[in-house]
Amino acid sequence: MTTRLEESSEGPARKYYSLTETGRVEAGRMSDYFGMMMKGMQSLNEGDFMRDEKTNETKL
């Protein structure tokens, strides 16, 4: 993340934030992870899962 400070004629200086390329990549990975978690939770809520016959474990 980078920051910059700009003077303002209408009050105190303002600080602006922006993501770096590394930050954008990390935000994308976090978004993908969140999407997978949401999909898993939705499957559980809908009862859309399968049980492994050999191990009796639940699989999404």
- Kindly report the pTM of this predicted structure: 0.56
Given pLDDT bands bounded at 50, 70 and 90, which one contains residue 54? confident
Q: What is the pLDDT of residues 2-49, one digit of tens each?
A: 999 999 999 999 999 999 999 999 999 999 999 999 998 888 777 756
Report pLDDT for 59.
Answer: 64
Report pLDDT for 21.
Answer: 96
What is the rounded distance in angstroms from the CA atom of residue 27 to the CA atom of residue 33?
10
Amino acid at 18: S
Contact 15, 2 (CB under 8 A): no
Q: Residue with structure tokens 């049980």?
A: 51
Find the DSSP H helices in 1-60. 21-46
- In sequence order, the β-bridge partners of residue 11 are 8
Phi, psi of 8 (to 5 degrees): -130, 140
